[in-house]
Amino acid sequence: MNVALVGVTGYSGMVLYQLLQQHPEVATVRLFGHPDSQPQPLMAAVSNFIGDQTLIEPLDAAVVMASCDLIFFATSAGVTTELATPFIEADFPVIDLSGDYRLQDPETFTKWYHKPAPATAALQQSHYGLAEFTDAARHNYIANPGCYATATLLGLAPLVQQHLINPASIIVDAKSGTSGAGKKLATSTHFSQTDENLQLYKVNQHQHIPEIMQQLKVWDASVPAIQFTTTLLPLVRGIMDTIYAKTDATAEQLHAAFAETYADSPFVRVLPVGQLPTLKEVVGTNYCDLGISYNPVTHTVLVVSVIDNLVKGAAGQAVQNFNQYFGFSATAGLQLTAVMP
């Protein structure tokens, strides 16, 4: 199996390249940059890959389709729209880690991403690849979910699908490490600004909100909106979502719903009653750990969802979709262990 990767110099691209290198079904990973870029060895572009002479080539769609079985895009929002058209027109397999093709409505895309939307026909060909709830094998263009969306949707799925909560009561307090912002320089991610500090940002304006709502409405059309707050943590990797909703269900019913939903999901771990997850338990892995707590006084369910934003929230989920698409073992290339301590 030969695959192509565009965008290896970004954080998600780096992690994806490492995962693909150790994947038992992948023979070669060809690296590509922008079509007008100059060829250069990977080690010259990304100092982390010391000694890796793999060449980053200018992207040529014809070369990719002649030599590879699938292409990954680990590019910034807007870039994939520029580069993916030949692959969409040829119905060539694509797994896209950017947000360009996650939203089905072009007006919604423009509103939240502040960029021109891809062509409507292309959007309609894409498939939202939330790996635990979709089958990538039937679609040639797979839009990998965003990191916040992954943690949030996995935390809400049993509650929304089984109608266990008031659909108008969902509050999500989402917190992420700085790698979620990518490599682009910004004052908010300078060490002197993030260290020993907490910063709220994009409150009710984060671009992952519409994809969360899009999927929630597939599960329950009566969900009107969510309150979604994002906080930047003074650490590099990890997302912790603290989710609240009103419910008339019992603690036993709530925990049973999660256990049933994820009984056959190798990368979602539902913690025992009374136990809540921490980031250290998932950083470096493709796991999503979920803890559930119920307050009988306020009739509120609390769900804590934790993931590594660069693995389960990006590159790892892309490999899950890759495995689904080709019928490989669900855990192929993803048998990772947490970075401890």
Instruction: Check: CB of residue 129 under 8 Å from CB of residue 95.
Output: yes
CATH of the domain at 111: 3.40.50.720
Q: Are residues 205 and 277 in the same domain?
A: yes
CA distance linking residue 231 with residue 81, whole number of Å: 29
Mark whether 288 is an active-site residue: no
122 within domain boundaries: yes
Question: Could you check whether the bond before residue 116 is cis, i.e. omega within 30 degrees of 0?
Answer: no
Instruction: Check: CB of residue 176 under 8 Å from CB of residue 239.
Output: yes
Q: Are residues 321 and 295 in the same domain?
A: no
Q: Which domain holds residue 61?
A: 2-145+312-326
CA distance linking residue 297 with residue 313, whole number of Å: 34
pTM of the model: 0.97
Q: Are residues 249 and 128 in the same domain?
A: no
334 within domain boundaries: no
Which among 6, 103, 131, 147 is annotated as catalytic?
A: 147
Q: Are residues 131 and 200 in the same domain?
A: no
CA distance linking residue 331 with residue 323, whole number of Å: 8
Q: Are residues 212 and 132 in the same domain?
A: no
- How many folded domains does the chain comprise? 2
pLDDT per residue of the chain (341 residues) written in tens, 0 to 9? 999 999 999 999 999 999 999 999 999 999 999 999 999 999 999 988 999 999 999 999 999 999 999 999 999 889 999 999 999 999 999 999 999 999 999 999 999 999 999 999 899 889 999 999 998 888 999 999 999 999 999 999 999 999 999 999 999 999 999 998 887 778 888 999 999 999 999 999 999 999 999 999 999 999 999 999 999 999 999 999 999 999 999 999 999 999 999 999 999 999 999 999 999 999 999 999 999 999 999 999 999 999 999 999 999 999 999 999 999 999 999 999 998 88
Q: Are residues 117 and 247 in the same domain?
A: no
CATH of the domain at 247: 3.30.360.10
